[in-house]
Amino acid sequence: MPQIQIPSPLRQYSGKQASVDVPGKTVGEALTGLVSLHPDLKRHLYTDDGKLRAFVNVYVNDEDMRYLEKEATALKDGDTISIVPSIAGG
């Protein structure tokens, strides 16, 4: 089952979990599974019209999904999805 890594700014919406195992054949399916498991995450990941937010990047292993097949990117067992939101602290 693919594992989704949750960054610390978003863990307050994932029941404090740093990673969540979610079934899914594609990145889109896994992310949909994630937000149905943790509905509070939804407005942080998606805009009101259901598009993934531009400041939230999603990586499959170490590759940006924008340069793969985006949400349609196929997943295989052991793949890690990372959600990497922008942070600005200094």
Partner 1 sequence: MATLSDVKPATGQPEAVLSNDEILRYSRHLIMPEVGMDGQQKLKAAKVLCIGAGGLGSPLALYLTAAGVGTLGIVDFDVVDYTNLQRQIIHTTADVGRKKLDSAADKLKAINPFLNLRTFDTKLTSANALELFREFDIVADGTDNFPTRYLVNDACVLTGKPNVYGSIFRFEGQASVFATEDGPCYRCLYPEPPPPGLVPSCAEGGVLGILPGLVGVIQATETIKLILGQGDSLVGRLLLVDALGMKFRELKLRKNPECPVCGTHRTITKLIDYEEFCGVRGVEAPVTASSDVPAISVEELKKKLDAKADIFILDVREPHEYQICNLNGYLIPLGDLPKRVSELDSSREIVAHCKMGGRSAKAVAFLKQAGFTKVHNLTGGITAWAERIDPKMPKY
Choose the binding region for partner 1 from 20-28, 30-38, 64-72 (rule: CB under 8 A). Answer: 64-72
Choose the binding region for partner 1 from 7-15, 27-35, 70-78 (rule: CB under 8 A). Answer: 7-15
62-71 in b/e burial notation, b at 16+ Cβ within 10 A? eeebeebeeb
Query: Residue 53 Cβ, how far from partner 1 at the closest point, in Å?
Result: 7
What contacts 36, CB < 8 A, 6 or more positions away? none
Q: For residue 71, what is the DSSP state?
A: G
Residue 69 found at the interface with partner 1 (CB under 8 A): no
Please give the C-alpha separations between residue 7 and each of 20, 62, 69, 82, 90, in angstroms, as whole numbers: 11, 15, 23, 8, 17
Can you tell me which of 14, 26, 73, 82 binds partner 1, judged by CB under 8 A? 82
Which residues inside 22-61 make contact with partner 1, applying CB under 8 A? 40, 44, 53-55, 57, 59
Which residue carries 């937010």 as its tokens?
53
Contacts to partner 1 by CB under 8 A: 7-9, 12, 18, 40, 44, 53-55, 57, 59, 62-64, 66-67, 82, 84-90
